[in-house]
Amino acid sequence: MPHQKNHIIHWLLEEGWKYPDRSEFTQHLAQAFLDAGVSVSRIRLTIRLLHPQVMGFGYTWDDRFNTVDYFEAGYDLRDSDIYLNSPFAAIFDEGAGAIRRKLIDPDCQFDYPILEDLTKEGFTDYVALPLIFADGRRSAITLSSRCKDGFSSKDLSLIYDSLSALSRIVENHALKHTASVLLETYLGRASGQQVLNGNVKRGDGQRIRAIIWFSDLRQSTHLAETMESDAFLDLLNKYFDCTAGSVLDRGGEVLRYIGDAVLAIFPLGPTDQCESSSLAAENALKAAQEAFACLEQLNHTQKVNNQPEIAIGIGLHIGEVMYGNIGTKDRLEFSVIGTSANEAARIESMTKELKVPLIVSDQFSRFHGGDWRSLGLFDLKGFKRKRELFTL
Protein backbone atom coordinates (compact mmCIF):
# COMPACT_ATOMS: atom_id res chain seq x y z
CA MET A 1 0.00 0.00 0.00
CA PRO A 2 1.61 3.35 -1.06
CA HIS A 3 2.61 5.83 1.68
CA GLN A 4 0.09 8.68 1.88
CA LYS A 5 1.33 12.24 1.57
CA ASN A 6 1.36 14.29 4.78
CA HIS A 7 -0.23 17.61 3.78
CA ILE A 8 1.00 19.32 6.94
CA ILE A 9 4.65 18.53 6.14
CA HIS A 10 4.09 19.62 2.54
CA TRP A 11 2.66 22.95 3.71
CA LEU A 12 5.50 23.51 6.22
CA LEU A 13 8.19 22.90 3.59
CA GLU A 14 6.50 24.71 0.71
CA GLU A 15 4.61 27.56 2.39
CA GLY A 16 5.03 27.66 6.17
CA TRP A 17 8.61 28.92 6.18
CA LYS A 18 7.56 32.03 4.21
CA TYR A 19 5.66 33.64 7.12
CA PRO A 20 8.02 35.82 9.21
CA ASP A 21 5.24 36.94 11.56
CA ARG A 22 4.73 34.26 14.21
CA SER A 23 1.05 35.05 14.79
CA GLU A 24 0.37 34.80 11.08
CA PHE A 25 2.37 31.57 10.93
CA THR A 26 0.28 30.09 13.76
CA GLN A 27 -2.94 31.09 11.99
CA HIS A 28 -1.89 29.37 8.76
CA LEU A 29 -0.48 26.38 10.65
CA ALA A 30 -3.91 25.81 12.18
CA GLN A 31 -5.47 25.97 8.73
CA ALA A 32 -2.91 23.46 7.45
CA PHE A 33 -3.93 21.01 10.18
CA LEU A 34 -7.60 21.51 9.31
CA ASP A 35 -6.94 21.11 5.59
CA ALA A 36 -5.18 17.82 6.37
CA GLY A 37 -8.33 16.62 8.13
CA VAL A 38 -7.08 16.90 11.72
CA SER A 39 -9.97 17.61 14.09
CA VAL A 40 -8.16 20.35 16.01
CA SER A 41 -10.05 23.14 17.78
CA ARG A 42 -7.20 24.94 19.54
CA ILE A 43 -3.45 25.20 19.03
CA ARG A 44 -0.95 26.80 21.36
CA LEU A 45 2.58 27.31 20.06
CA THR A 46 5.04 28.09 22.86
CA ILE A 47 8.49 29.28 21.77
CA ARG A 48 11.30 29.50 24.31
CA LEU A 49 13.96 32.14 23.75
CA LEU A 50 17.24 33.60 24.87
CA HIS A 51 15.85 36.88 26.16
CA PRO A 52 16.87 39.17 29.06
CA GLN A 53 13.31 39.60 30.37
CA VAL A 54 11.12 36.96 28.72
CA MET A 55 11.29 33.17 29.05
CA GLY A 56 9.15 32.59 25.99
CA PHE A 57 6.27 33.64 23.76
CA GLY A 58 2.94 31.93 23.28
CA TYR A 59 0.59 32.03 20.29
CA THR A 60 -2.89 30.55 20.75
CA TRP A 61 -5.37 29.88 17.95
CA ASP A 62 -8.97 28.91 18.74
CA ASP A 63 -11.54 27.95 16.11
CA ARG A 64 -14.30 29.79 17.98
CA PHE A 65 -12.67 33.12 17.13
CA ASN A 66 -10.25 32.11 14.35
CA THR A 67 -7.72 34.60 15.72
CA VAL A 68 -4.32 34.25 17.39
CA ASP A 69 -3.76 35.55 20.92
CA TYR A 70 -0.21 36.44 21.92
CA PHE A 71 1.32 36.37 25.39
CA GLU A 72 4.75 36.72 26.98
CA ALA A 73 5.96 34.54 29.82
CA GLY A 74 8.41 36.29 32.17
CA TYR A 75 11.04 34.39 34.12
CA ASP A 76 9.01 34.80 37.31
CA LEU A 77 6.51 32.34 35.81
CA ARG A 78 9.01 29.50 36.32
CA ASP A 79 8.36 29.55 40.08
CA SER A 80 4.59 29.77 39.83
CA ASP A 81 2.19 26.90 40.45
CA ILE A 82 0.63 27.57 37.06
CA TYR A 83 3.88 26.61 35.34
CA LEU A 84 5.12 23.95 37.77
CA ASN A 85 1.82 22.05 37.52
CA SER A 86 1.59 22.30 33.74
CA PRO A 87 2.60 19.97 30.89
CA PHE A 88 5.14 22.63 29.85
CA ALA A 89 7.20 22.05 33.01
CA ALA A 90 7.21 18.33 32.24
CA ILE A 91 8.31 18.93 28.65
CA PHE A 92 10.84 21.71 29.29
CA ASP A 93 12.33 20.70 32.63
CA GLU A 94 11.78 16.96 32.87
CA GLY A 95 12.36 16.04 29.23
CA ALA A 96 8.93 14.49 28.78
CA GLY A 97 7.92 13.27 25.35
CA ALA A 98 4.37 13.27 24.03
CA ILE A 99 1.63 13.91 26.61
CA ARG A 100 -1.83 12.83 25.51
CA ARG A 101 -4.97 12.96 27.64
CA LYS A 102 -8.27 11.81 26.12
CA LEU A 103 -10.57 13.89 28.29
CA ILE A 104 -13.73 11.91 27.52
CA ASP A 105 -12.11 8.64 28.57
CA PRO A 106 -13.51 7.53 31.97
CA ASP A 107 -9.99 6.46 32.96
CA CYS A 108 -8.36 9.73 31.87
CA GLN A 109 -5.69 10.91 34.29
CA PHE A 110 -6.39 14.56 35.20
CA ASP A 111 -2.88 15.20 36.48
CA TYR A 112 -2.64 18.80 35.23
CA PRO A 113 -5.08 21.58 36.29
CA ILE A 114 -5.35 22.74 32.66
CA LEU A 115 -7.21 19.50 31.85
CA GLU A 116 -10.10 20.36 34.17
CA ASP A 117 -10.36 23.79 32.52
CA LEU A 118 -10.35 22.28 29.04
CA THR A 119 -13.08 19.81 29.98
CA LYS A 120 -15.28 22.65 31.26
CA GLU A 121 -14.77 24.45 27.93
CA GLY A 122 -16.02 21.43 26.02
CA PHE A 123 -12.75 19.94 24.83
CA THR A 124 -12.56 16.17 24.44
CA ASP A 125 -8.87 15.52 23.76
CA TYR A 126 -5.49 17.11 24.50
CA VAL A 127 -1.97 16.54 23.19
CA ALA A 128 1.25 18.31 24.28
CA LEU A 129 4.41 17.70 22.26
CA PRO A 130 8.01 18.91 22.45
CA LEU A 131 9.57 20.75 19.52
CA ILE A 132 13.25 19.84 19.90
CA PHE A 133 15.86 22.19 18.44
CA ALA A 134 19.24 21.17 17.04
CA ASP A 135 21.03 22.16 20.27
CA GLY A 136 18.57 20.21 22.46
CA ARG A 137 16.55 23.20 23.64
CA ARG A 138 12.81 22.70 23.59
CA SER A 139 9.73 24.59 22.59
CA ALA A 140 6.29 23.02 22.53
CA ILE A 141 2.98 22.74 20.74
CA THR A 142 -0.32 21.71 22.30
CA LEU A 143 -3.41 20.71 20.35
CA SER A 144 -6.94 20.36 21.74
CA SER A 145 -10.04 18.96 20.08
CA ARG A 146 -13.77 19.42 20.59
CA CYS A 147 -14.59 16.60 18.21
CA LYS A 148 -17.04 14.12 19.74
CA ASP A 149 -14.49 11.27 19.70
CA GLY A 150 -11.34 13.37 20.13
CA PHE A 151 -8.31 12.88 17.91
CA SER A 152 -8.33 9.84 15.64
CA SER A 153 -5.33 7.58 15.10
CA LYS A 154 -4.90 9.21 11.70
CA ASP A 155 -4.93 12.68 13.33
CA LEU A 156 -2.21 11.68 15.76
CA SER A 157 -0.06 10.12 13.02
CA LEU A 158 -0.27 13.29 10.92
CA ILE A 159 0.62 15.42 13.96
CA TYR A 160 3.54 13.27 15.12
CA ASP A 161 4.99 12.90 11.63
CA SER A 162 5.02 16.68 11.12
CA LEU A 163 6.94 17.49 14.33
CA SER A 164 10.43 17.35 12.81
CA ALA A 165 9.60 19.81 10.02
CA LEU A 166 7.65 22.02 12.42
CA SER A 167 10.56 22.05 14.88
CA ARG A 168 12.96 23.32 12.20
CA ILE A 169 10.69 26.22 11.28
CA VAL A 170 9.95 27.15 14.90
CA GLU A 171 13.68 26.97 15.66
CA ASN A 172 14.30 29.38 12.80
CA HIS A 173 11.71 31.79 14.26
CA ALA A 174 13.35 31.49 17.69
CA LEU A 175 16.85 32.08 16.32
CA LYS A 176 15.80 35.13 14.32
CA HIS A 177 14.01 36.64 17.29
CA THR A 178 16.92 35.85 19.61
CA ALA A 179 19.36 37.50 17.19
CA SER A 180 17.17 40.59 16.96
CA VAL A 181 16.66 40.84 20.74
CA LEU A 182 20.31 40.28 21.61
CA LEU A 183 21.47 42.82 19.04
CA GLU A 184 18.97 45.33 20.38
CA THR A 185 19.95 44.58 23.99
CA TYR A 186 23.69 44.76 23.49
CA LEU A 187 23.91 47.30 20.65
CA GLY A 188 20.68 49.29 20.97
CA ARG A 189 17.53 49.42 18.86
CA ALA A 190 18.80 51.46 15.92
CA SER A 191 22.32 50.00 15.97
CA GLY A 192 21.00 46.46 16.15
CA GLN A 193 18.71 47.12 13.21
CA GLN A 194 21.63 48.54 11.24
CA VAL A 195 23.53 45.29 11.73
CA LEU A 196 20.48 43.17 10.84
CA ASN A 197 20.08 45.27 7.69
CA GLY A 198 23.54 44.21 6.57
CA ASN A 199 25.88 46.94 7.86
CA VAL A 200 28.34 44.44 9.31
CA LYS A 201 31.67 45.35 7.69
CA ARG A 202 34.26 47.56 9.33
CA GLY A 203 33.70 51.06 7.99
CA ASP A 204 30.00 50.59 7.22
CA GLY A 205 28.11 53.60 8.50
CA GLN A 206 26.85 57.09 7.78
CA ARG A 207 27.28 60.65 8.89
CA ILE A 208 24.34 61.91 10.94
CA ARG A 209 23.40 64.94 12.99
CA ALA A 210 22.46 64.11 16.52
CA ILE A 211 22.18 65.33 20.05
CA ILE A 212 24.98 63.65 21.96
CA TRP A 213 24.51 62.70 25.60
CA PHE A 214 27.42 61.94 27.89
CA SER A 215 26.93 61.21 31.57
CA ASP A 216 29.31 60.04 34.27
CA LEU A 217 29.11 58.79 37.84
CA ARG A 218 30.94 60.83 40.48
CA GLN A 219 33.53 59.20 42.79
CA SER A 220 33.00 55.76 41.30
CA THR A 221 36.52 54.65 42.24
CA HIS A 222 35.91 55.53 45.89
CA LEU A 223 32.56 53.73 45.83
CA ALA A 224 34.11 50.63 44.28
CA GLU A 225 36.86 50.54 46.90
CA THR A 226 34.63 51.12 49.93
CA MET A 227 31.56 49.03 49.05
CA GLU A 228 31.11 45.28 48.83
CA SER A 229 31.37 44.24 45.20
CA ASP A 230 27.80 42.94 45.02
CA ALA A 231 26.43 46.09 46.61
CA PHE A 232 28.46 48.29 44.25
CA LEU A 233 27.28 46.34 41.19
CA ASP A 234 23.68 46.65 42.36
CA LEU A 235 24.12 50.40 42.86
CA LEU A 236 25.76 50.71 39.45
CA ASN A 237 22.82 49.00 37.76
CA LYS A 238 20.38 51.28 39.58
CA TYR A 239 22.43 54.27 38.39
CA PHE A 240 22.18 52.97 34.81
CA ASP A 241 18.42 52.47 35.28
CA CYS A 242 18.19 56.18 36.05
CA THR A 243 20.49 57.48 33.33
CA ALA A 244 20.42 55.05 30.41
CA GLY A 245 16.86 54.10 31.32
CA SER A 246 15.72 57.71 31.01
CA VAL A 247 17.43 57.99 27.62
CA LEU A 248 15.68 54.89 26.33
CA ASP A 249 12.33 55.97 27.77
CA ARG A 250 12.63 59.20 25.77
CA GLY A 251 13.51 57.52 22.48
CA GLY A 252 17.28 57.94 22.64
CA GLU A 253 19.83 55.33 21.63
CA VAL A 254 22.36 54.15 24.24
CA LEU A 255 25.54 53.32 22.34
CA ARG A 256 28.13 52.49 24.97
CA TYR A 257 28.74 52.03 28.67
CA ILE A 258 32.26 53.31 29.18
CA GLY A 259 32.92 52.03 32.66
CA ASP A 260 30.31 54.00 34.59
CA ALA A 261 29.77 56.55 31.81
CA VAL A 262 26.93 56.53 29.30
CA LEU A 263 27.28 57.62 25.66
CA ALA A 264 23.95 58.08 23.88
CA ILE A 265 22.43 59.93 20.96
CA PHE A 266 19.09 61.43 19.97
CA PRO A 267 19.22 61.47 16.15
CA LEU A 268 17.91 64.58 14.42
CA GLY A 269 15.69 64.84 11.38
CA PRO A 270 16.80 65.95 7.91
CA THR A 271 16.78 69.65 8.86
CA ASP A 272 17.16 71.60 12.07
CA GLN A 273 13.68 73.03 11.60
CA CYS A 274 11.79 69.73 11.36
CA GLU A 275 9.41 68.66 14.09
CA SER A 276 11.30 65.44 14.85
CA SER A 277 14.50 67.40 15.55
CA SER A 278 12.76 69.76 17.98
CA LEU A 279 11.22 66.76 19.70
CA ALA A 280 14.65 65.11 19.96
CA ALA A 281 16.06 68.18 21.74
CA GLU A 282 13.13 68.31 24.13
CA ASN A 283 13.39 64.57 24.79
CA ALA A 284 17.10 64.85 25.54
CA LEU A 285 16.47 67.56 28.15
CA LYS A 286 13.52 65.66 29.65
CA ALA A 287 15.65 62.52 29.85
CA ALA A 288 18.26 64.48 31.83
CA GLN A 289 15.64 65.92 34.18
CA GLU A 290 14.06 62.50 34.69
CA ALA A 291 17.48 60.99 35.38
CA PHE A 292 18.09 63.54 38.14
CA ALA A 293 14.62 62.93 39.61
CA CYS A 294 15.22 59.17 39.58
CA LEU A 295 18.59 59.62 41.29
CA GLU A 296 17.00 61.81 43.95
CA GLN A 297 14.62 58.97 44.82
CA LEU A 298 17.48 56.48 44.74
CA ASN A 299 19.56 58.62 47.07
CA HIS A 300 16.65 58.92 49.49
CA THR A 301 16.52 55.12 49.69
CA GLN A 302 20.30 54.96 50.04
CA LYS A 303 20.22 57.44 52.90
CA VAL A 304 17.42 55.58 54.71
CA ASN A 305 19.46 52.37 54.41
CA ASN A 306 22.63 54.12 55.58
CA GLN A 307 24.24 53.55 52.18
CA PRO A 308 26.35 56.03 50.17
CA GLU A 309 24.53 58.50 47.95
CA ILE A 310 25.65 59.12 44.38
CA ALA A 311 25.93 62.11 42.06
CA ILE A 312 26.28 62.42 38.31
CA GLY A 313 27.11 64.93 35.62
CA ILE A 314 25.41 65.16 32.24
CA GLY A 315 26.69 66.95 29.15
CA LEU A 316 24.56 67.61 26.05
CA HIS A 317 25.89 68.73 22.69
CA ILE A 318 24.67 68.75 19.11
CA GLY A 319 26.71 68.06 16.02
CA GLU A 320 27.64 65.74 13.20
CA VAL A 321 29.10 62.33 13.99
CA MET A 322 30.10 59.21 12.09
CA TYR A 323 27.65 56.47 13.05
CA GLY A 324 28.89 53.01 12.14
CA ASN A 325 31.24 50.06 12.63
CA ILE A 326 34.65 50.68 14.15
CA GLY A 327 37.28 48.39 15.62
CA THR A 328 39.37 45.48 14.40
CA LYS A 329 38.24 42.98 11.78
CA ASP A 330 37.57 40.44 14.56
CA ARG A 331 35.99 42.75 17.17
CA LEU A 332 33.70 45.53 15.96
CA GLU A 333 31.51 48.03 17.76
CA PHE A 334 28.65 50.07 16.36
CA SER A 335 29.10 53.54 17.80
CA VAL A 336 29.62 57.21 17.01
CA ILE A 337 32.94 58.90 16.50
CA GLY A 338 33.95 62.46 15.70
CA THR A 339 34.83 65.74 17.34
CA SER A 340 31.21 66.31 18.41
CA ALA A 341 31.22 63.12 20.48
CA ASN A 342 34.54 64.13 22.07
CA GLU A 343 33.19 67.60 22.79
CA ALA A 344 30.15 66.17 24.60
CA ALA A 345 32.49 64.23 26.88
CA ARG A 346 34.56 67.35 27.56
CA ILE A 347 31.40 69.34 28.33
CA GLU A 348 30.30 66.73 30.84
CA SER A 349 33.72 66.85 32.53
CA MET A 350 33.14 70.56 33.20
CA THR A 351 30.22 69.67 35.51
CA LYS A 352 32.84 68.68 38.11
CA GLU A 353 34.80 71.90 37.78
CA LEU A 354 31.76 74.22 37.69
CA LYS A 355 29.82 72.16 40.25
CA VAL A 356 26.58 72.01 38.28
CA PRO A 357 24.98 68.68 37.35
CA LEU A 358 23.93 69.60 33.79
CA ILE A 359 25.90 71.53 31.19
CA VAL A 360 25.01 72.00 27.53
CA SER A 361 26.86 73.55 24.62
CA ASP A 362 25.98 76.86 22.99
CA GLN A 363 24.76 74.90 19.95
CA PHE A 364 22.35 72.84 22.05
CA SER A 365 21.00 75.82 24.04
CA ARG A 366 20.26 77.76 20.82
CA PHE A 367 18.77 74.74 19.10
CA HIS A 368 16.56 73.87 22.07
CA GLY A 369 15.53 77.49 22.61
CA GLY A 370 14.66 77.10 26.28
CA ASP A 371 15.55 79.20 29.31
CA TRP A 372 19.32 78.73 29.68
CA ARG A 373 21.88 80.54 31.81
CA SER A 374 25.38 81.17 30.48
CA LEU A 375 28.24 79.87 32.62
CA GLY A 376 30.85 81.75 30.58
CA LEU A 377 33.58 80.89 28.07
CA PHE A 378 35.86 77.95 28.79
CA ASP A 379 38.74 76.03 27.28
CA LEU A 380 37.90 72.40 26.59
CA LYS A 381 40.76 69.93 26.52
CA GLY A 382 41.79 69.16 22.95
CA PHE A 383 39.87 72.09 21.38
CA LYS A 384 41.48 75.34 20.24
CA ARG A 385 38.80 77.96 20.74
CA LYS A 386 36.86 78.67 23.90
CA ARG A 387 33.32 77.32 24.22
CA GLU A 388 30.39 79.06 25.87
CA LEU A 389 28.62 76.68 28.21
CA PHE A 390 25.10 76.85 29.61
CA THR A 391 22.96 75.32 32.32
CA LEU A 392 19.28 75.58 33.20
Residue 130: phi, psi to the nearest 5?
-80, 145
Where b means 16+ CB within 10 Å and e means fewer, 158-176 reads: bbeebbebbbbbbbebbee
Q: Report DSSP letters for 237-281, one per residue.
A: HHHHHHHHHHHHHTT-EEEEEETTEEEEEEE--SSTTSHHHHHHH
Q: Tell me the one-letter amino acid at 193.
A: Q
Question: CA 176 → CA 69, 132, 151, 293, distances in Å?
Answer: 21, 16, 33, 38
> Are 127 and 108 in contact, with CB atoms under 8 Å apart?
no
Residue 70: phi, psi to the nearest 5?
-115, 140
Q: How far apart are CA 39 and CA 148, in angstroms?
A: 10
Q: How many CB atoms lie within 10 A of CB 369?
A: 10
Annotation: CATH topology of 7-186: Beta-Lactamase (3.30.450)
Annotation: CATH topology of 193-391: Alpha-Beta Plaits (3.30.70)
DSSP state of 170: H
Domain ranges of the chain: 7-186, 193-391
Model confidence over 331-365: pLDDT tens digits? 655 566 677 888 888 999 888 889 999 999 988 98
**Burial level of 277, CB count in 10 A (0-12/13-18/19+)?**
buried
What are the pLDDT tens digits along the chain (392 aa)?
A: 344 578 899 999 999 888 888 889 999 999 999 999 999 999 999 888 765 566 778 899 999 888 899 887 766 777 788 888 889 889 988 888 899 999 999 999 999 999 999 999 999 999 999 999 888 888 999 999 999 999 999 999 999 999 999 999 888 887 777 666 655 555 555 544 555 555 444 555 567 788 889 999 888 888 888 888 888 888 889 999 999 999 989 988 888 788 888 888 888 865 444 445 678 889 999 999 999 999 999 999 989 988 888 899 999 999 887 766 666 666 655 566 677 888 888 999 888 889 999 999 988 988 888 789 999 888 888 787 888 899 98
The angle formed by the CA atoms of residues 377, 382 and 383, to the nearest 5 degrees, is 45
**Burial level of 324, CB count in 10 A (0-12/13-18/19+)?**
buried
Q: How far apart are CA 17 and CA 93, in angstroms?
A: 28
Residue 271: phi, psi to the nearest 5?
-135, 160
